[in-house]
A and B are shown apart, each in its own frame.
Chain A
Amino acid sequence: MKRRAFLAGVGGAMAVPLLPGAALAQANPVEAQLRTLAQGAPVKKGRVHLELPQLADNGNSVAMKVSVESPMTAADHVKAIHLYSDRNPVTHMATFHLGPRAGKAEVSSRVRLAGSQRVTAVAQMSDGSFWSDTAEVVVTLSACLDES
């Protein structure tokens, strides 16, 4: 009886997730990476659609899909899509190099998320412009220690 109540109590206390905004105010590592990438050009919000589940069962593998509105012609296309994490030990998660032969600016993969965080996707266009989108993910941890 006592144990069950204890477990339920702990469960209740842990039910409130720590959102990125509630974390300590630290220099955002993503901003530093974006400055290096854009070299002074503005990184505008829009044209990019980053999809991640709002709640991830496990941070080891989370479905990620990023798509960019672009005609993908030789004259106007997405050169690359960059992915950044504001909490992982390695901020720059991946870069996907596209081009007019892609036909469609859409890439899917599965990513590692070291805890609840905000992921940022930046599209680097052929005309030199940068567009971005972000997604917030709550990542739940395993309840039990596994030493199997």
Chain B
Amino acid sequence: MAARIQIPKQAKRGEVIEVRIVIQHAMETGYRHDDVGHLIKRNVINTFSCRYNGSEVFRADLSSGISANPYLQFHTVAEASGEFEFYWIDDEGMQGSERQSIVVTP
């Protein structure tokens, strides 16, 4: 699953930084019908989590009420240089992940 991430490349220790992510996913609601009238099965990203240097700093439980190609923007405190890891899983069990590094200056 394609995803785009935006976090600052660099931040000061203690600074509150903004994390933005957009994931390519249809977030199929389960209420739509295909061309021949059959119900298209629900399949949404139901869990999204963000780990910063191994510890979870944000988690989201999502439903069909979140738009297709979900966009999330949240915040976290820059503590140490290292990595952000993003994980998500949809109703069919398909997992996606991305990572991005950050440099934190004292």
Q: Which residues of A contact B (CB under 8 A)?
A: 60-62, 83, 85, 88-90, 92-99, 101-104, 106-112
Contact of B66 among A93, A102, A106 (CB under 8 A): A93
Among A90, A103, A112, the one with the most B-chain Cβ atoms within 10 Å of its Cβ is: A103
Q: Which residue of B lies closest to A92 (CB)?
A: B63
Contact of A90 among B59, B65, B68, B77 (CB under 8 A): B65
Query: Is the Cβ of B63 less than 8 Å from the Cβ of A93?
Result: yes
Query: Is the Cβ of B66 less than 8 Å from the Cβ of A107?
Result: no
Query: Is the Cβ of A112 less than 8 Å from the Cβ of B74?
Result: no
Contacts of B70 in A (CB 8 A): 109-110
Mark interface residues in B65-97 (1 if CB within 8 Å of A CB, else 0): 111101111111101000000000000000000
Distance A112 CA – B58 CA, assembled complex (angstroms): 22
Q: Which residues of B contact A (CB under 8 A)?
A: 16-17, 29, 31, 52, 55, 57-68, 70-77, 79
Q: Which residue of A lies closest to B55 (CB)?
A: A101
Query: Is the Cβ of B63 less than 8 Å from the Cβ of A104?
Result: no
By secondary structure, the B interface counts as strand
Query: Is the Cβ of A102 less than 8 Å from the Cβ of B57?
Result: yes
Contact of B75 among A62, A90, A104 (CB under 8 A): A104
Query: Is the Cβ of A102 less than 8 Å from the Cβ of B75?
Result: yes
Contacts of B60 in A (CB 8 A): 94-97, 107
CB distance from B85 to the nearest CB of A (A): 14
Query: Is the Cβ of B67 less than 8 Å from the Cβ of A60?
Result: yes
Of the A-B pairs whose beta carbons lie under 8 Å apart in the complex, a sample of 18, sorted by A's number, is A88-B65, A89-B64, A90-B65, A92-B63, A94-B62, A94-B66, A96-B59, A97-B58, A97-B59, A101-B52, A101-B77, A102-B58, A103-B77, A108-B74, A109-B66, A109-B67, A109-B71, A110-B70
CB distance from B87 to the nearest CB of A (A): 14
Contact of B74 among A62, A89, A106, A111 (CB under 8 A): A106
